[in-house]
Amino acid sequence: VGGGAPLIEQTTEQWRKVTAVNLDAVFWTFREAARHMVARAEEGDKGGSLLVTSSVSAIHGAPQNQAYAATKAGVLAMVRGTAVELARHGIRANAILPGWIATEMTERLQNWDAFNDKAIGRVPMRRWGEGEDFAGMAVYFASDASKFHTGDSVVIDGGYSIF
């Protein structure tokens, strides 16, 4: 959930709505999944993977979207803490950070020529990302192929962050 508004105009209600969806929900999901995975590990079935979608907004400035960026950065801190805490149970925690992805949330921007010229024009791959662009990484993190890969965040943004 976004919530774009100039910082000095953002309301506490807007802030709390974004944090409830983007941060609190991840906490509750991780907590409940971890409870199940730890219980299973204590019965001899170690392992599991917690995976969350963050955003490149966690590592870049997000004007008029401070709540969104703060929650996505908070998710990264949660992933790292969870990875360290649960590693002894064979449980991994990782995050995927998509860049400009064509979704319902970005629909307005997708149809804005000036934005496409300035922002998407700066993506070295010169296009909006699609969900399929990070599906392979999600499968990797969810599979045993990543059984020694934890506490990480992978940026998938067509090169936007490095350009």
The CATH number for 132's domain is 3.40.50.720
- Known catalytic membership, residue 55: yes
Q: Is 114 domain-assigned?
A: yes
Which residue of the set 49, 54, 57, 72 is catalytic?
A: 72
Kindly state the helix (H) or strand (E) to which residue 110 belongs, with its residue range. helix 107-110
Question: What is the widest separation between alpha-carbon atoms in the chain?
Answer: 57
Q: Is 1 domain-assigned?
A: no
HSE of 138 in the Cβ direction (CA atoms, 13 Å)? 11
pLDDT digits (tens, 9 = 90+) for 92-131: 999 999 999 999 989 999 999 999 999 999 999 999 999 9
Q: Is 133 domain-assigned?
A: yes
* Residue 95 · residue 154 · CB < 8 Å: yes
Q: Is 26 domain-assigned?
A: yes
- Known catalytic membership, residue 72: yes
The parent domain of residue 131 ranges over: 7-157
- Known catalytic membership, residue 160: no
Report phi then psi at 139, rounded to 5: -65, -45
Structure tokens at 121: 């024009």
Which residue of the set 55, 57, 153, 160 is catalytic?
A: 55
pLDDT computed for residue 44 by the predictor:
97
pLDDT in tens, the chain (163 residues): 666 789 999 999 999 999 999 999 999 999 999 999 999 999 999 999 999 999 999 999 888 999 999 999 999 999 999 999 999 999 999 999 999 999 998 999 999 999 999 999 999 999 999 999 999 999 999 999 999 999 999 999 999 999 8
Structural domain total, the chain: 1
HSE of 67 in the Cβ direction (CA atoms, 13 Å)? 23
Question: Strands (DSSP E) along 33-102, which ranges?
Answer: 48-53, 91-98
Report phi then psi at 104, rounded to 5: -60, -35
pLDDT computed for residue 151 by the predictor:
98
Kindly state the helix (H) or strand (E) to which residue 155 belongs, with its residue range. strand 152-156
